[in-house]
Chain A
Amino acid sequence: MATQHSRSAARLMMGPAVVLLLGWMLVPLLMTLYFSFKSYLPLRGGDLGWIGFDNYVRFVTSSAFWPSVSATLIIVGGVLLITVVLGVLLAILLDQPMWGQGIVRILVIAPFFVMPTVSALVWKNMFMDPVNGLFAHLWKFFGAQPVEWLSDASLFSIVLIVSWQWLPFATLILLTAIQSLDSEQLEAAEMDGAPPPKRFVFIILPHLGRAITIVVLIQTIFLLSIFAEIFVTTGGAFGSRTLTYLIFQRVLESQNVGLGSAGGVYAIILANIVALFLMRIVGKNLDA
């Protein structure tokens, strides 16, 4: 509802944001597509011509591909599982009456604000170092042999670090969702004779359904592209090379831009599949 005048003003004012984002999306995307069909090695001859779908085939048939897919799935799946399950429990705990709720909330949220490079380094050195790390001290205290976390259990270690970073996010969103639950619903269920476990399963959990879906989707998008945590801890070694990191290595370390670009196109397609689901949910919410 507005006038022609304000509608044209609106179009004009939306212009800069739309044009910038359109450029930001299209230009690199088209360039990536272009490179992905070329043999392009900047340090070894540069542009060596069109090679069709060779890069796409080579990327998926290389020995590093399937391990990187499984590493990605383990990291994303593991972090999602840990953050959602612990997040729900923590959110319910934080929703209980207690003293100092605000402070506990702050303590729980804090890791989310820690720079990824900082958290990765702190965990790598001060906790997971097999000689001087706190875990090593702890293991020795109980007479056990300290674990070489980042080489012997690299994926587990990365999942642990990343879960620590994302647990606050899941908790915060689930807590917000729990708090929006109408307490009369719970009281009605109580009047109807539902014991606490049943109230959790039949009322709280369904109410959290949407929030959990959102947490899963948003985290998936971010987790698919985690980079710094791997960059500073293992550098992709010891089986911790994810799809993102593999592409990064192809492009910058081995300077095979064509191959890396093909990988990039795969990553873009993958992210878009996840994004599609997220959009559905957010879009529905827009109508409300």
Chain B
Amino acid sequence: MNERGDSRGARPGQEAGHPREAGHQQRAGRGEGPATEPTLVVSVDVPAQRTGQPGEAGGGRAGSGGARRAALAAARATASGARGRGVYSLLALMTLLTAVVLSVTVGRDYQPLRSTTQPFHRHSQDPSFDPISNVLRGLPPNTINNQSSTPDQAIRAMAVSQAEIALLAGGRLIRTIPLATPATGLPELAAAVGDPSWLEYDGGGQVTVRAALVVVGGAALGIAAPVRDVVLESRRGVLLGADGAALALDGVHVRPSSAHPDPDWRAVDQNQPFVFANNDATLVISNSHLSHIGRDWNSSYGISWADGSTGSITNSEVDNTFIGVYTDKARDITVANNWFHDNTLYGIDPHSGSTGIVVRQNLSERNGRHGIIFSEDVTGSLVENNITRNNHLNGIMMDAGSTGNRIVGNTATGNRGDGIVLASSPDNVLERNIVTHNRVGIHVHGDGGTEGITIRDNHVAGNQLASQGIALAGNDVIDNGDQWRPRVLAVIWSLVPITVVLLVSGTAVLRRRRGRSGSRRTRVTAVGARA
């Protein structure tokens, strides 16, 4: 090989002891892997080594000189050793990373938020005349257009005024019963009507109402002892109502004559009776039990106050109605010391512009949706010292512009949905409530955001998530999901230094052992002669 690198013109004899192969044999391509030892002879021109001494193992020109090389090698080993100590930093860094990863995974409580999706088909909320007007006209209570609808003879009503009782069927007056003195109770009314197919008193405390019984024209009717059991016949148009009058129930059990056990069935059953106060009426219920009444239609939900009506329900039990208590543009209603349970939709539902509602010391539980809900501009009201628990959705909810209300001292616990919800309802005060073991403790969302919302001194604990949509500074917030777990974090981070020490020590031992043991191979110089 010449100095120009022509491999076919190499200077002979440069590499003593490595004779070139004689002859030139071209290798044919092959389809399998190569053999370990080539068997075909190949002509190779060995290029000359241009530096160093011929026959030397190598021609390296730099660093020649044994002592200098040894010094360099030692220096390199020292530098390498120093650089190698970076592995300890790496171990510390990876331990920290592991701790961070563990902290954000197991060091934090991540209860998955339960789904609150509960399919339930609500009837349309088309505006309709109030049920009392409809039945007085001989129309079913859910009639939307009472001008074009045809009265039905089966729809019957007893309109009780101060001076008379008017019996109506299909909107037509059947009979008028004059009253010498205003009727004060159902036994007197039953006696005056004298027809058990309309109203029947069994003399033993049970009254069966077989037509709509409506107190009208400023009259007042009280249903109390000796009546203990008011049975509203399950047929279209039967209701217990007051229209611009006063109705009081005290110590009675109000129920339908027959009730389907399936609440979904009852929700659409037009034969379901209900209690309703309308048009500045006063409805006062106390010490009573109302069950299995109401259906899914405007103001026919169970016990309702509408259009300026007022009154109260106290010390009573309301269960298995469609909605326990409902108000629509009502005012100054007190709902206190009651037990609402197992109602199909809500326990207590002040609605649509109602104001001055006081909901106090009630227990509302196991309702199909919310325990207590204020919806559509319910203002100036108070929800105080109630317990809402185990409802299928939220415990207490302010919805759709329900503002200026105070939610104070309530307990919302174990609800499938959220504890207290403010949905598009700013300017409310939440104070001293105990909100535990719900989905989200306090949930604020919708229009208006958090404007004017005061949330203070609440105890929020054990919920899947303490809050959504609002911070809970100034509240007692503990052991909720999505919160750090102090004990777990303490364990994780206390293990960090121990782990680092162990890893660093182990690595140091390994490195020292490696340094001492050197190679596991012995020097080999020929092919196939490996140790």
The reply to whether chain A is a binding partner of chain B is: no
User: What residues make up the interface of B, taking CB atoms closer than 8 Å to A?
Assistant: none
